Chains A and B, each alone.
Chain A
Amino acid sequence: MRGFPVAGLLLWLASVPWVLAQPDCVACHLDHARDYAGSAMAGSAADHAFQLEWAQSGRQEGCLECHAPDGGAGVGCRHCHVAGHGARSVGSPVACGRCHQQAFENTLARFREYRARGGERSCLDCHAGGAAGTGHGFTGPSSEAFLEGVVRLTTTFRRADSGLVAVIGISHRAGHGLPGGTAGRAVELNVRGRDARGELVWTVSRRFGWQQDAGRWLDKSLPPLHITYVETPVGGAARIHTSLRYRRMPYGHEHYDEKSVLLAETGRHVPGLEGR
């Protein structure tokens, strides 16, 4: 286990010259190559999370079809620009779908759901980037800044026959499910009820992403252009605190993920409901 970060770092370092060594393209498109070399896709096989997940899955060679199609540290120029110059379809979601609609990858199907609900952005509208302005520094959830402001949480209280209920609303701005991507990623909701002294009374957790259900793995990500409501009885709590974290590493929520990112958090005192 300890060897993974070191191996990942070495592979990542190795990826930079590897990308820059794509001789056909780099000779004329050095700025594009520099932008791209810093992206997560350029090091998709060297990535620590991938190395861990790959080891867990028994190092299946099929994973490398997308993560290291040439046996290098990641995806190279020609894996998107299949036909080289004049390959205009490279901006099409279908081009991304070659890898982003696979076993344990449902991002393209979720993107189509987003468009069917009236969403108007394309993949590159959000994911293209790069310091040199070439649009080749692909960005995504591996960048903490990319995740900023993606999620909104609300807490509504409802009076029911059984007592007060907190209704947590989760909405997000991704043009696909949240999280997108493969099985190792997850979004984790954590709701905590505390009494008037600040003591923890109860906690409720929900995990969104790929999940095992009756022996099958299913995509249970938060749908796009959709608001998910999660209800929980208030019990003896005087204050409710809600947070949503983006987990990048495999394993369930019982394992601490040092790479997880706080997407949003909110807190509310439990009201008397005499009306606003």
Chain B
Amino acid sequence: MIRAIRWLLATTLLAVPLSASGFQLVWSEAEIARWAHGVTGRLVVDVRSATSRQQRPSSVALPVEGEPSDYDFDPSVREVLLLVDPEPPEPWRIWRDHLAQAGYRVHVVDVAPGSESVPPAPEAEGRSFRYLVPRGLCDAREPVQVYERNPDGTLEAQPQ
């Protein structure tokens, strides 16, 4: 509950005045991901250094390089969350000012230390199905014998 209230405050009430004054919020990766998947029209833009991106990667951010004028965002985007390195401030201020001038609502966020991006689930590998000899229609979940398929295609009876 407390986490939900904190997130609500951060996303609805505090984000605008704090970010407008140049003060950065510190959000966890989970908060950033939830913000990005909230209402439509949101985009997370990562203007951090390559080192910061490697140390605290974001699973939802669009990594950008070069000048803001090199980019033309989707017309549906109304609100931009800038992921920044607090120091030095010049690079992200250029992005913030450019985007604000272009009419976007801009929030400036520092990714919380220790807030590591969750790696994707292991790419589970498909395997052959177990080959069952059902006992009968009513108790098929108790097979009389289970076989595993060997790489050469032969079946091997498993101990019960």
Using CB atoms and an 8 Å cutoff, list the residues of chain A in contact with chain B: 57, 60-65, 69-72, 79, 103-104, 106, 109-110, 112-113, 116-118, 152, 154-159, 167, 169, 171, 173, 177, 183, 210, 216-220, 223, 225-227, 229, 266, 268, 271, 273-276
Contacts and interface: CB of A to CB of B under 8 A. Distances in A.
A169 B30 CA distance: 19
A103 B140 contact: no
Contacts, number: 141
Interface in B75-120: 75-77, 98, 102-103, 118, 120
A157 B77 CA distance: 13
Interface string B11-46: 000000000000000001111011011001001100
Chain A binding surface SS class: mixed
B74 A156 contact: yes
B60 A227 contact: yes
Nearest to A101: B124
B33 to A, nearest CB: 4
B6 interface: no
A152 B103 CA distance: 22
**Chain B residues touching A, range:** 35 or more
Interface of B: 28-31, 33-34, 36-37, 40, 43-44, 59-62, 64, 66, 68-77, 98, 102-103, 118, 120-134, 136-138, 140-141
A62 B140 contact: no
Contact of B60 (A61, A106, A171): A171
Contact of B37 (A158, A159, A173): A173
A225 B125 contact: no
Which 8 A-B pairs give the minimum distances between C-beta atoms?
A118-B30, A62-B129, A217-B126, A154-B74, A71-B137, A109-B121, A159-B70, A106-B124
